[in-house]
Chain A
Amino acid sequence: MPRDPDTLREGPRPPSVDDNMTPVYSQEPEDQETYRHRSQTPVDTYREQAGEAAPEYHIEVPETEQHPVLTQCRSVENYEKLNRISEGTYGVVYRARDRITGEIVALKKLKLDQEKNGFPITSLREIYTLLLAKHPHIVNVREIVVGDTLTQIFIVMDFIEHDLKELMSGMRSPFLQSEVKTLMLQLLSATELLHENWILHRDLKTSNLLLNNKGEIKVADFGLARRYGEPQGVLTQPVVTLWYRSPELLLGAKQYTTAVDIWSIGCIFAEFVNNEPLLPARSEAEQLEKIFKLLGMPNDKIWPGFSKLPLASHVPNFVQPYNLLRSRLPYLTENGLDLMSKMLTYDPTRRITAEDALKHPYFSEAPPPKHPSMFPTWPSKGEKTAKKNASPSAPQAVHGHGQDEEEAGGLFNFANQESTGFRLKV
């Protein structure tokens, strides 16, 4: 195989083999030289046929475009902090500008102060998941940068204007059916990719769904996500925010599957349609009660293995055998209701998969899903300077580091308006 000498970049050779040294290791392979002279080895026969000489040792280094290179983390100084967007248990999110390209990004600062076990495994999972799951509807992670001390770690992500919980709490009327379909299709396709890659999100809820001004959903916050496999290892409990938690989790099932994410999506679906959470409860017992009141009491017939679940015997025994989903969703079409009940099926093995849900007739009946570019736009809460942003210099007030100006939005701050939305107490 003649090679272009220009593409061949020679590196250091491996240390030479000392012929006089007696091998000590019993399973020791003989010298390379010995192999080369052993005529019956397949490789030599092959080589003779091909008329090739044995190549010399060297390390060939592929061109750097073909593979990632080892580099250090860049400093957070490459970004200019603009303002704080939100703060949760996981950490603080800032809006920032890339000093070189001028792009607006979100910086998520990890909370590491109280870590007793070094770098948190959840953050490792989050980074892994975000890298693996590259998808138009999953938030894009750009890089990870560090501050001056070892505990300042920031994940740099694309900046997305809204989160759906915030947005919906400021909306006077629910999404249109065509809009719901678009959002659901996007959410399901992202979930399908995750599940295909053996990843559970485990915390799907409206506040973890971001929406940009192009009508595109981005699934975010993979802090609880993890890979799973067959056979399943030990999975942590409890997972998923209460309102979106599936009955098998509430009943203490040791093993769970991708079906837990689908239940959450079912709850989100109803929330899109009604513009209010489907099952807002304050405790696990109340959550189960609300589920049973809405969907009827499960039994071993519709959910084989139900009575064997650890907490099934503690379930309050009020009898409400009927599925009342229709009463909560009076204006949804038959197909829509069918999809919803398939997502909110008690038996996790019979709950619809993301793949099948995407093919559901609900999405092909009228009205068709609205094209994302036709979505209405809203001023962003995170981006306090929505109007002035068009001019190159942003106001000085938002340049301070770590400033927290929650109510600067004024006219455009929907969160402060009266809303019927519910707030989750974390």
Chain B
Amino acid sequence: MSQVKLSLQNALLTLEQLQQTPSREDGITEEQEDHLRQLGCHLIQHAGILLKLPQVAMATGQILFQRFFYQASLRKFAVRDISMGSVFLAAKVEECPIRFLDLVNVFDHLIKKFHRLPLDPMPAYQQTFYTLKDATVVAEMQILKKLSFNVHVQTPYAIMINYLKVLELMDHPIIPQLAWSYLNDGLRTSIYICYQPPTIACSVIWLAAMKENVALPTSPAWWEVLDAKLEDIENIAGHITSLYHRPLPISTLPFTIEQVEPYLRGELNKNASNGSPAAAATGSLSSTSIKGTRVSRFS
């Protein structure tokens, strides 16, 4: 164990970690794992919007969530608890701490909404609050422990904006927002655990420029100037675009540890309609606006 144990550089996965996740070893299928990961990220993104967190904090939270489940199984830790812990911890890491009460209220509301339960406000000073609060504290410590305190995440938002400026695309009516949204949606995939932020920033610009049919310098190719490989760019773009073709049956997914076993047997909320498509959930709702969003210099 002579390798670096603590670092500010983003931790990436080894091939073994990527192929054999703890959840897969625990008998969860690839599709189920993907759904649960997307669910957690979905929850974090929406909670962040309701809590008025900067996008960088939500991104950090989602990356922590993704990282955590390469160290632990989805059978042992509930999506709800870990996503709450991720938001809580990410808010501290990004210097915008939130209160337990706000956090618990927002998650309670979102979970009811996603499971299509009546949206009653959470009763004050009742057991629900304390249960969720304790779960958050434990989850936060578990995240810190399993990630060996490597929780300071580098995000590509500020890098992407610099690149857009270099490429003189900041004034384009669509590309900056589109690329920003791709960054947000890409949090639901494994790209942030497989690539360093500058490569991801190049990729979303590439994807957005392609969508808008904007030609960018080719001799030399702009991505080579920015030290990215076309192959990586295309891989990342492939991961992001494939998101829009995978439905996320959100109302049938488990939030708590008690709901996991019925879910894995295919018995959770069977009667609920089975196809709110991923794209509907992934798109405009999750995208925070690039305009007026404070990009921390540290992101």
Q: Residues on A close to B: CB < 8 A? A: 9, 11-12, 14-18, 21, 23-32, 35, 40-43, 45-46, 54-55, 57-62, 64-65, 67-74, 117-119, 121, 124, 127-128, 131-132, 141-144, 146, 150-151, 153, 198, 226-227, 229, 233
List B contacts of A67 (CB < 8 A). 9-12, 196
Are B194's CB and A61's CB within 8 A? Answer: yes
Choose among A65, A118, A144 the residue that contacts B137 (Cβ–Cβ < 8 A): A118
User: Are B93 and A124 within 8 A (Cβ)?
Assistant: yes
If A62-B12, A70-B13, A72-B146 touch, whether A14 touches B242 (CB-CB below 8 Å) is: yes
Q: B residues within 8 A CB of A11? A: 15, 18-19, 194
Q: Is the CB of B242 within 8 A of A17?
A: yes
Given contacts A45-B218, A71-B148, contact A27 B93 (CB under 8 A): no
* B18/A61 in contact, CB under 8 A: yes
Give the CA-CA distance A396 to B20 in the complex, in Å.
46
On whether the beta carbons of B144 and A119 are closer than 8 Å, the reply is yes
B18 touches A59 (CB 8 A): yes
Cβ contact within 8 Å between A12 and B19: yes
Q: Is B125 in contact with chain A by the CB < 8 A criterion?
A: no
Q: Are B238 and A9 in contact (CB under 8 A)?
A: no
- The answer for the CA separation of A68 and B298 in the assembled complex, in Å, is 19
The answer on a CB contact under 8 Å between A72 and B210 is no
Binds A, one of B105-113, B149-157, B252-260, B262-270: B149-157
B235 touches A57 (CB 8 A): yes
Q: Are A64 and B231 within 8 A (Cβ)?
A: no
User: Is A42 a contact partner of B144 (Cβ separation < 8 A)?
Assistant: no
Residues of A within 8 A of B237 (CB): 32
CB of B15 within 8 A of CB of A233, answer no
Residues of B within 8 A of A46 (CB): 218, 221
**Residues of A with C-beta under 8 A to B171:** none
B162 within 8 A of A: no
Give the residue name and chain of the A residue nearest to B190 (CB). A59
Rounded to whole angstroms, the CA-CA distance of A54 and B8 in the bound complex is 34
Docked Cα-Cα span, A158 to B18, in Å, equals 34
Query: CB within 8 Å of A: which residues of B?
Result: 1, 3-15, 17-19, 34, 67, 70-71, 88-89, 92-93, 95, 97, 100, 136-138, 140-142, 144-152, 178, 181, 189-190, 193-194, 196, 206-207, 209-211, 213, 215-216, 218, 221, 230-232, 234-235, 237-239, 241-242, 244-246, 277, 279-280, 282-284, 296-298
State A35–B7 Cα separation when bound (angstroms).
38
| Cα-based distance from A25 to B148 in the complex (angstroms) | 38
Residue of A nearest to B216 (CB): A42
Chain B residues with CB under 8 Å of A12's CB are: 18-19
CB A379 to nearest CB in B, in angstroms, measures 31
Q: Which residues of A contact B70 (CB under 8 A)?
A: 70
Taking a contact as CB atoms under 8 Å apart, the answer to whether B89 and A70 are in contact is no
In-complex Cβ contact of B215 among A42, A61, A64, A153 (8 A): A42
Instruction: Kindly identify which residue among A54, A60, A132, A144 contacts B148, using a CB–CB cutoff of 8 Å.
Output: A144
- The answer to whether A27 and B234 have CB atoms under 8 Å apart is no
- Beyond A74-B5, A226-B95, 10 additional contacts (C-beta under 8 Å) are A11-B19, A17-B242, A27-B178, A32-B234, A35-B210, A41-B210, A67-B9, A67-B10, A151-B141, A233-B95
Out of B9, B138, B283, name the residue touching A68 (CB < 8 Å): B9
Chain A residues with CB under 8 Å of B194's CB are 11, 59, 61
Return chain A residues, CB-CB under 8 Å to B93: 124, 128
Residues of B within 8 Å of A227, CB to CB, are 95, 298
Q: Are A17 and B71 in contact (CB under 8 A)?
A: no
Find out whether the CB atom of A118 lies under 8 angstroms from the CB atom of B140: yes
Given contacts A25-B244, A25-B283, A29-B244, contact A119 B141 (CB under 8 A): yes
Q: Nearest chain A CB to B279's CB is how many angstroms away? A: 3
Nearest CB of A to B175, in Å: 12
- Of A12, A18, A29, A62, most buried by chain B (CB within 10 Å of CB) is A29
* Known A-B contacts A68-B11, A142-B5; A128 and B152 likewise in contact (beta carbons under 8 Å): yes
Question: Contact between B147 and A70 (Cβ–Cβ < 8 Å)?
Answer: yes
Nearest CB on B from A397, distance (A): 31
Q: Nearest CB to that of A231 among chain B residues?
A: B294
